[in-house]
């Protein structure tokens, strides 16, 4: 019996009593009692639907669901091992922040992969900010030289920061929901088929493009079939050019993977 199997998504009284009995039994057992492991496993299994439920909140962030469930389960196990039933809390209440904590940490570690030094992370944020500012001033995207001068770092540092961004691109957790929508004017863009007439592999491509999020599809169309620059797209969508670049790179990579499989 698991959380999800109950119609309301909540524990039935019987389930709750069963869990309480398990905790009571654990209390009575010596630390080295081999039956502890069996009960612990059962508690973990019972609460896995909670992990799935919490992991699903992050399913659109570009990470594999299995990975999220796996790190979430680590959080669940930590919660079970640290749980004190005498405090009167339900395990699910106690475990939720621990599971979410592990999932969020996974995003922090993954998106800023373990390999990107802190210095570059900071510089990358500065480059993004400075690039936006200079774009307004210059009415075009700045060059690496201009960014290096403005931030008083070497051109190599700027390149490293740009490289780190593309190498470990992943969706930001800090984006607002609006960040993922596109202005309504853009959702009425003409059919992509117009630009596609001359493409041989369009039949393979079509389902892949249709499966893209609206914003990614709009960026693809604006860049490749309407000849807009990344900066112009950024302005149209109200996001930074660097963000456009990141989304474009990711979209092209996913299309290429999709076509290789298709």
Partner 1 sequence: MTDKVTVTFAADTRNVALARTVAAAMAARADLPLDQLEDVRLAVDEAVTQVLLAAVPGADVTCTFLVDGYTLQATVAAPTQATEPPSTTTFSWTVLAALVDSAHSSVGDGVMTIGLTASRGLVDV
| Site residues (vs partner 1, CB under 8 A) | 131, 140-145, 147, 155, 158-159, 162-163, 166-167, 198-202, 205, 223-224, 227, 229-231, 241-242, 244-245, 248-249, 252, 255-256, 259
CB 33 within 8 A of CB 13: no
DSSP 95-141: HHHHHHHHHHHHHHHHHTTTTS-HHHHHHHHHHHHHHHHHHHHHSSP
Check: CB of residue 13 under 8 Å from CB of residue 58.
no
Q: Which is nearer to partner 1, 16 or 256 (CB)?
A: 256
**Closest approach of partner 1 to the CB of residue 256, in Å:** 7
When the beta carbons of 106 and 223 are compared against partner 1, the nearer one is 223
- Judged by CB, which is closer to partner 1: 36, or 110? 110
How many whole angstroms separate alpha carbon 231 and alpha carbon 138? 12
Residue (111 or 128) nearer to partner 1, CB = 128
d(CA 111, CA 148): 25
The CB-of-134 to partner 1 minimum distance in angstroms stands at 9
Contact (Cβ atoms closer than 8 angstroms) between residue 35 and residue 80: no
Tell me the closest approach of the beta carbon of residue 168 to partner 1, in angstroms: 12
Report the nearest approach of partner 1 to the CB of residue 25 (Å).
53
Q: Where are the beta strands (DSSP E) in 2-125?
A: none
| Nearest distance, CB of residue 182 and partner 1, angstroms | 19
| Tokens, residue 235 | 């302005």
Judged by CB, which is closer to partner 1: 96, or 240? Answer: 240
């Amino acid at each position: 019996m698991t959380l999800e199997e109950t119609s309301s998504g909540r524990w039935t009284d019987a389930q709750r009593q069963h869990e309480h009995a398990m905790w009571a039994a654990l209390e009575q057992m010596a630390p080295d009692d081999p039956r502890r492991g069996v009960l612990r496993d059962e508690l973990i299994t019972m609460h896995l639907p909670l992990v799935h439920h919490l992991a699903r909140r992050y399913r659109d962030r570009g990470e594999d669901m299995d990975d999220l469930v796996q790190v979430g389960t680590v959080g669940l196990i930590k919660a079970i091992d640290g749980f004190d039933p005498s405090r009167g809390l339900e395990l699910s209440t106690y475990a939720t922040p621990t599971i979410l904590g592990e999932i969020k940490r996974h995003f922090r570690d993954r998106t800023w992969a373990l390999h990107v030094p802190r210095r570059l992370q900071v510089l990358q944020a500065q480059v993004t900010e400075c690039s936006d500012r200079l774009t307004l001033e210059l009415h075009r995207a700045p060059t690496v030289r201009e960014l290096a001068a403005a931030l008083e770092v070497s051109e190599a540092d700027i390149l490293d920061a740009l490289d780190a961004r593309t190498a470990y691109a992943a969706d930001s957790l800090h984006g607002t929901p609006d960040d993922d929508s596109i202005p309504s004017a853009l959702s009425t863009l003409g059919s992509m088929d117009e630009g596609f007439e001359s493409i041989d592999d369009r039949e393979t491509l079509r389902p892949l493009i249709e499966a893209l999020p609206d914003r990614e599809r709009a960026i693809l169309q604006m860049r490749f079939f309407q000849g807009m620059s990344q900066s112009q797209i950024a302005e149209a969508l109200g996001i930074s050019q660097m963000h456009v670049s990141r989304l474009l790179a990711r979209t092209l990579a996913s299309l290429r993977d999709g076509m290789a499989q298709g």
